[in-house]
Chain A
Amino acid sequence: MSIIKVKNLTKTYHDTEVPVHAVNGVNLEFKKGEFSAIVGPSGSGKTTLLNMIGGLEHPSSGMVEVNGTDMFELSSSALIEFRLMNIGFVFQAYNLIPVLTAKENVEFIMQLQNKDKKQMNERTISLLESVGLGDRLNSRPNQLSGGQQQRVAVARALASKPMFVLADEPTANLDSKATMQLLEIMEVLNREENITFIFATHDQRVVDKAHRVITIDDGKIISDESVSK
């Protein structure tokens, strides 16, 4: 059963003289537990598509339905709450809160969800241990390498037990070793905890790990292939 339904999604920018169709009539569905990659050249519209799936950007037309909820029908604050409860984000530039430690960054999401303190503490430690950072709980982002920061970001994305995780170019700033470590962690989480991951990437190493590869160009889906592993 699909947890995400993207219907006729279009995003047109009118900032330039000629309107730019960043996403043009996209229809997609994602099932629980998928490990999918949206690929395409720079400017193809993959990040815009991902942002709309995550409810960060409003479409010009069309809809994104998550578990039966049309996200863009929600009010601004309800949409933020919806994201908090259902979607995890991993950004290219890690985007950890610089004044919080690794542990506090992960806890931050659960605190916004008003989770119980004990439960929060246990889950945070377990998540950071699962991304190999059990010994760096009290390190601030500036005391961690890029790869470590991105692993904290993954732990943070999973903290809220989201329905799916959106990762926009998560490996773009990482070296090969860190990339492989990160991908392995996400693969394990996908396999063992059935967490849905959707990547926007042009990193072949990510594509190689994906079970489904969606190619986008000029805002349109060019191909949508399942890859047997």
Chain B
Amino acid sequence: MNTILKIAWRNIWRNKRRTFITIASIMFALFFSTIMRGFQLGSYANMKRNAVEAYSGYVQIHKKGYWDDKNINNIFSIDEKLVSKLENDSRVKVIIPRIESFALASSGESSKGVLVMGVSPDKEDKMTQIKSYLEEGEFISENDKSILVAQDLAKFLKVGVNDSLVLFSSGYHGATAAGLYAIKGIVKLPTPEMNRGTIYLPIEEAKSFLSTEGKMSALVFDLHDLEDADGVLETVSANIDHEKYEVLGWKLMNKELIQMIESDNAGGIVMISILYLVIAFGIFGTVLMMTNERTREFSVMVSLGMQKTKLAMVVLLELFFMTLLGVVAGIAISLPIMIYYYYNPIVFTGESVEAMKEFNFEPIMPMSLDPQIFLTQAIAISIISLIAMSYPTIKIMTMNVINGLRS
């Protein structure tokens, strides 16, 4: 084995220029693909996090039919014992009650349709970190009768902290809902759509405003780990009466986002595939030359008594060494850049910000450092090399020694 390794290692340096070009092509392919995938997956994770942690949570319980008809009349109450039981599940971080409804918000000459979120401020903060989004003023508390207004909405309505806002809506069972609320704080929400039209008020005040008789529209579950989402969904499903309630997972609640990510992801994979296709031809060209120019040498080695399988192993090791060097070099040059962008995401400025907000994207491009990125790209390149390796293997195994010696 030692000799085989020695021959393979020395062989790759016989034509240094060609080896460097092959290694460089693998290195750059890995560099571009990991950077590209890193930004892609980082953005997807950010979008998911924004959607899940800023709003939907991982699991929600509603009154049956609420998700398709988000009507203030589709509200529910639930056995507190069951909530306590589910809250004691180690996978669950917090369970948040919410009342959601739409209202008309007015101030002076301006008015706009808004999403009114009745929340339990401290619990809500555990999941959405809403306190950290506070730009001006103070955060609301459980017993407040004041509200938090999303930044873009505040700009639209031309209101600030300590100004008042009139909310007008239809309450439970047709009750009139109207109220004048002082603005306690302005929050800059990460999801542009929410930032354009959301108002938070304490849940008790929301119940009173919408006359819900103590009922709520959603019970939102935040978890410690995304991986547990399906398991918790199953547990909750098993514990509730499906005649009265519905349980939805985060994927179902963010169907459009998931579809958008999947289609964008497919585009990314096509781009990387094209990149790899180019690299594959490069690797194959090297293998082709490496094999054909050494037919005589291979024949001599077999004549002397080297088994063809061992000889094929030499060539495979050569390609393996080159692939390994390319992969290691690729990771070595991409990793520092990825680490930099992981801690310093690209923040978009200028006109692109508005364009991104239009599509409901946060105008930043974060980087993912998921080890799977490197693993997947390394595996992809290894598969290409493996396919390329089939040529010398077949060539050696079917080689005619005499023809080779005459070549």
Q: How far is the CA of A81 from the CA of B307 in the complex (A)?
A: 7
CB distance from B131 to the nearest CB of A (A): 67
Contacts of B2 in A (CB 8 A): 111
CB distance from B113 to the nearest CB of A (A): 77
Residue of B nearest to A157 (CB): B304
Q: How far is the CA of A224 from the CA of B53 in the complex (A)?
A: 95
Q: Within 8 Å of chain B (Cβ to Cβ): is A2?
A: no
* In the complex with contacts A98-B14, A111-B3, A56-B402 CB distance below 8 A: yes
Q: How far is the CA of A101 from the CA of B30 in the complex (A)?
A: 36
B residues contacting the other copy or chain, number (CB 8 A): 23
Asked if residues A99 and B7 are in contact (CB atoms below 8 Å), the reply is: yes
Residue of A nearest to B296 (CB): A95
* Per-residue interface assignment for chain B, residues 366 to 407, with 1 indicating a CB less than 8 Å from any chain A CB and 0 otherwise: 000000000000000000000000000000000001100100
In the complex, chain A residues 76-107 whose Cβ is within 8 Å of any chain B Cβ: 76-77, 80-81, 83-85, 89, 91, 95, 97-100, 104, 107
Residue of A nearest to B300 (CB): A95
Q: How far is the CA of A141 from the CA of B243 in the complex (A)?
A: 86
Asked if residues A80 and B302 are in contact (CB atoms below 8 Å), the reply is: yes
In the complex, chain B residues 288-324 whose Cβ is within 8 Å of any chain A Cβ: 296-297, 300-310
The one of A89, A100, A160 in contact with B7, judged by C-beta atoms closer than 8 angstroms, is: A100
Size class of the contact patch on chain A: 20 to 34
Q: Within 8 Å of chain A (Cβ to Cβ): is B10?
A: yes
Contacts of A160 in B (CB 8 A): 305
Q: Within 8 Å of chain B (Cβ to Cβ): is A170?
A: no
Q: How far is the CA of A100 from the CA of B305 in the complex (A)?
A: 17
Q: Within 8 Å of chain A (Cβ to Cβ): is B11?
A: yes
Asked if residues A83 and B304 are in contact (CB atoms below 8 Å), the reply is: yes
Q: Within 8 Å of chain B (Cβ to Cβ): is A51?
A: yes
Interface residues of A (CB under 8 A from B): 51, 54, 56-57, 76-77, 80-81, 83-85, 89, 91, 95, 97-100, 104, 107-109, 111-113, 156, 160
Give 7 closest A-B pairs by Cβ, nearest first.
A84-B305, A99-B10, A95-B300, A111-B3, A57-B402, A83-B305, A56-B401
